[in-house]
Structure 1
Amino acid sequence: MSIKNNHLTTPEYQENFTDIHPPFETQDAALIEANRCLFCYDPPCMKACPTSINVPKFIKQITTDNIKGSAHTILSSNIMGAGCSKVCPVEKLCEGSCVYNFMHETPISIAKLQRYSTEIAIKNNWQLFKRKPATGKRVAIIGAGPAGLSCAHGLSKEGVDVTIYEKEDKGGGLMTYGIAAYKVTPEFCEAEVNYITSIGGIEIKHNQELGKDISIEELQQKYDAVYLAFGVGLARQLEIPGENLTGVVDAIKFIYELRTNDFSSIKVGDKVAVVGMGMTAIDAATQAKRLGAKEVTLIYRRTQEEMPCTEHELNIAKLDGCAIIWLASPKEVLGKEGKIVQLVCDVMKLGEPDASGRRSPITSGETFTMDVDMLIKAAGQMPFENLVKSNQIENNKGKIKVEDASVTNLKGVFAGGDCVNGGKEVVDAVQAGKDGAAAILNFIFK
């Protein structure tokens, strides 16, 4: 066994990484689904959306062939509504709250209908928002991810000039670099970023990293306000012997390479173990399988009832042939000639509930060993604690503390998204960006 590339042919890669949620093939198909909506009064789907998209309204607009109006309704609440229609865990948000669930019927395909309207808007470059005249105010944003882009768009609409400093060579953040390739393509992410910035007044400066190329103090002097939206991205380490052997990789880095290189150039093992059960773990496991790994096993230290991912995501992994071992935790990585060959795991059991009511896993005293030639660590992400502390920002173990949704302890400095919440959904980051824009507008125009 060994990690290698070129497992599959080009057509096989194309088939394996095709759109996992294909759009409606025809307008009639979209109309039929839209007409299933009951257009509820006080709709639960709208309440379940972190950005409060008026779901019944945009669906009603589809039924009347008002696609431009439908897209405007969506994007007014969520400027990244197109991307969110592909990556949101809708089964636990809008679609999970659809009244059809209580009638034991299939819920409305809200995400698919949202994708229908927004993709048409982006494809035709419909300018649905008019920017107010320039006010002379200038704001700097760190990070061109969902929170940063959402904040930038909200500010630009009000005539504020925005400069986004982004450490990568493309915008989009998590959407561009951290999500499975079969959910969103780099081409789509680029198109969405371009659409958002097409309102005008937004400049993205790439390859500009906070703490390396720019500083908060410098930006405070040059701009009327600063918004921090640099996310999270440090992979949580397992802290076990053998973790540094060849073949042990971080899920974040693994997915990043998938998003920035040809599939055929990505090395993957024959027998792969993935530690974790969050969305990132599922993405890493399914993509390893689709790259040609013969066996992929997800290892989680709790039971299915406690898993962070949704049932829908878990089923994707199962359908791809991934195996799952519950109540297991890595104990040691064994190697030969510097390369991983086996993984030793503790058999776990759930102890007494903690203060939050969640039962913590404890070792049972038993172990098992499995043959692997690749281990992907997806046990969570950590905030950029050193970066945050070095800038004297009040924080909780690296997560920035804010008041009134966005205000930090530094005057004129605001924050939102994953660098505050520690890593939630894209849609949560979009809402944080909206909150940040509102707070900044209140600050600079008071």
Structure 2
Amino acid sequence: MNADQQARDVKAGRLDPDAYSDLFSDLHPPLDGHEAHVEADRCYFCYDAPCMEACPTSIDIPMFIREISTGNPLGAAKTIFEQNIFGGMCARVCPTETLCEEVCVRETAEGKPVKIGLLQRFATDAAMAAEKQFFTRAPSTGKRVAVVGAGPAGLACAHRLAVKGHDVDVYEAHPKAGGLNEYGIASYKTPDGFAQAEVDYITAIGGITMHYEKALGAEISLSQLSADYDAVFLGMGLAGVNALSIDGADADGSLDAVSWIGDLRQASDVSTVPVGRRVVVIGGGMTAVDAAVQAKALGADEVTICYRGPKERMKASEYEQEIAKVRGVSIRYGMNPKSMIVEGGAIAGITFDRGGETVTIACDEVMKAIGQAFVPDSLNGSGETIALDGGRVAVDEEGRTSMAKVWAGGDCVNAGDDLTVTAVSQGRDAAESIHSALSA
């Protein structure tokens, strides 16, 4: 522990060793076979299924639930993977409570929807455990495609292109694939190395070559990729972090929540990760909740999420907010940051304006979860060629950018909602467009 951490009362190992495995265990224990059959029998198998309409990847939900109910979980997994090759991860992290389950007829009639997410996990876990592959590569087309970014958008695109018979090189800036699935999602949502297991399952199709620690604008350039490959897909996500423009924002103890979550995810032993005694998280999205809950799980005495707007505008769903509260996190609304209180170069508190009233919260760590930004500099001189929209890459309905031979999808484009499931759909659909262009 360095001097600054000690002054701020930041340390590791705040809890008994056995407590960590419990607090970081699976948020939603999986259904067993009997539970899955009972839950599947609750589905009405609607002909005009509103759940399917609400799914960004258009999974045939009534079909896969019917397959589970008839004792065919592998068939259900095939139905899921045909539309969403990241079906396993989406079953764990997708906000089903505001998508498919929100519009479930059972939810409308009883306030208790069919547990679509858990049923999807039951099926996809069965397929992955059996190492059952449902796709085979078509004969080689001789075409080569470069994919930048090994997150959900990039790997969904790479997988669909590999199925079509194209050879795909995936360039990833990090030493591991997975994107935010690996570096940005709470450990208790995807324990036991699931993110990497899913990457291995997806790339087992063949025809996909991974190149790690190759960042666009540094080790690789878009101009060179465009020259060397028949097509390029950009799925590099958001590399920038929105700044908190208040006095003391960069003092010791002021952390970027996404980076902190990433470091925690890569720790071989979470009990070795230091955390403050009193933590404030600024933001209102899923990252804010993930950071806050995990800070509490590491042994922080007090964790408070401070969101500048009203509760109804919070990006994190009502369900996610409830998880935070159950785990001991306080959430305060209408809290607009004014300044950090800095003593001896370190965070000692933070002040907010709350409807004209000044509110001060004592703390030794502040985690900023106020959003990420696309960094167009990574386009490496192609910024004038590729049009931007709202600070991100502009694309048409098929994912084409304004630059010939280049498609894009996921968080780097201004055409989605920053959800894993949306990124998957954009990568998949761009792959179909690329295949059509290469087959013409």
Q: Tell whether 2:432 aligns with 1:441.
A: no
* Mapped partners of 2:163, 2:76: distance in 1: 19
Q: Tell whether 2:336 aligns with 1:343.
A: no
Q: Secondary structure at the match of 2:281?
A: strand
Q: Which residue identity lines up with residue 346 of structure 1 in the other structure?
A: D
Q: Secondary structure at the match of 1:256?
A: helix
* Mapped partners of 2:68, 2:361: distance in 1: 52
The CA deviation at 1:395 is 0.7
Q: Name which of structure 1's ranges 81-90 and 237-246 shifts more when overlaid on structure 2.
A: 237-246
* Mapped partners of 2:50, 2:224: distance in 1: 45
CA deviation map 1:192-232 (0-9, x unaligned): 00111111101111111111100011111111000000011
Q: Secondary structure at the match of 1:28?
A: helix
Alignment of 1:85-124 (within 5 A): 85-124=91-130
Whether the 8 Å contact between 2:102 and 2:113 is mirrored in structure 1 is: yes
Q: Tell whether 2:311 aligns with 1:304.
A: yes
Q: Secondary structure at the match of 1:96?
A: coil
The CA deviation at 1:329 is 1.1
Measured on the aligned residues, the alpha-carbon RMSD in Å equals: 1.2
Q: Secondary structure at the match of 2:413?
A: helix
Count of aligned residue pairs for this structure pair: 429
Partner of 2:339: 332
Q: Tell whether 2:264 aligns with 1:258.
A: yes
* Mapped partners of 1:402, 1:280: distance in 2: 26
Whether the 8 Å contact between 1:141 and 1:165 is mirrored in structure 2 is: yes
Q: Tell whether 2:386 aligns with 1:379.
A: no
* Mapped partners of 2:332, 2:307: distance in 1: 6
Partner of 2:214: 208
* Mapped partners of 2:220, 2:252: distance in 1: 34
Q: Which residue identity lines up with residue 159 of structure 1 in the other structure?
A: G
Q: Name which of structure 1's ranges 2-11 and 284-293 shifts more when overlaid on structure 2.
A: 2-11
Q: Secondary structure at the match of 1:141?
A: strand
TM-score relative to the length of structure 1: 0.94
* Mapped partners of 1:312, 1:80: distance in 2: 22
Partner of 2:82: 76
Q: Tell whether 2:418 aligns with 1:427.
A: no
* Mapped partners of 1:206, 1:125: distance in 2: 25
Q: Tell whether 2:135 aligns with 1:129.
A: yes
Instruction: From 150, 155, 165, give the equivalent of 2:156.
Output: 150
Whether the 8 Å contact between 1:233 and 1:252 is mirrored in structure 2 is: no
Instruction: From 285, 292, 308, give the equivalent of 1:278.
Output: 285
Whether the 8 Å contact between 2:217 and 2:377 is mirrored in structure 1 is: no
Q: Tell whether 2:409 aligns with 1:416.
A: yes
CA deviation map 1:372-401 (0-9, x unaligned): 100000111111233247322211353001
Q: Which residue identity lines up with residue 277 of structure 1 in the other structure?
A: G
Instruction: From 383, 400, 408, give the equivalent of 1:407.
Output: 400
Q: Name which of structure 1's ranges 226-235 and 4-13 shifts more when overlaid on structure 2.
A: 4-13
Q: Which residue identity lines up with residue 108 of structure 2 in the other structure?
A: F
Partner of 2:179: 173
The CA deviation at 1:404 is 2.8
* Mapped partners of 2:189, 2:130: distance in 1: 22
Gaps of 5+ in 1: 349-363
The CA deviation at 1:423 is 5.5
> What is the percentage of aligned positions where both structures have the same residue?
44
CA deviation map 1:339-375 (0-9, x unaligned): 1001111113xxxxxxxxxxxxxxx3x3121111000
Partner of 2:65: 59
* Mapped partners of 1:270, 1:206: distance in 2: 37
* Mapped partners of 1:276, 1:402: distance in 2: 28
* Mapped partners of 2:273, 2:317: distance in 1: 27
Partner of 1:360: none
Whether the 8 Å contact between 2:309 and 2:334 is mirrored in structure 1 is: yes
Alignment of 1:217-296 (within 5 A): 217-261=223-267, 262-296=269-303
Q: Secondary structure at the match of 2:193?
A: helix
TM-score relative to the length of structure 2: 0.95
* Mapped partners of 1:264, 1:32: distance in 2: 38
Whether the 8 Å contact between 1:247 and 1:339 is mirrored in structure 2 is: yes
* Mapped partners of 1:404, 1:71: distance in 2: 28
Whether the 8 Å contact between 1:333 and 1:340 is mirrored in structure 2 is: yes
* Mapped partners of 1:65, 1:369: distance in 2: 57
The CA deviation at 1:3 is 1.6
* Mapped partners of 2:129, 2:389: distance in 1: 42
Whether the 8 Å contact between 2:221 and 2:379 is mirrored in structure 1 is: no
Over 6 Å off, 4+ runs: none
Whether the 8 Å contact between 2:254 and 2:365 is mirrored in structure 1 is: yes
The CA deviation at 1:265 is 2.4
Whether the 8 Å contact between 1:231 and 1:417 is mirrored in structure 2 is: yes
* Mapped partners of 2:321, 2:15: distance in 1: 24
* Mapped partners of 2:111, 2:320: distance in 1: 21
Q: Which residue identity lines up with residue 418 of structure 1 in the other structure?
A: D
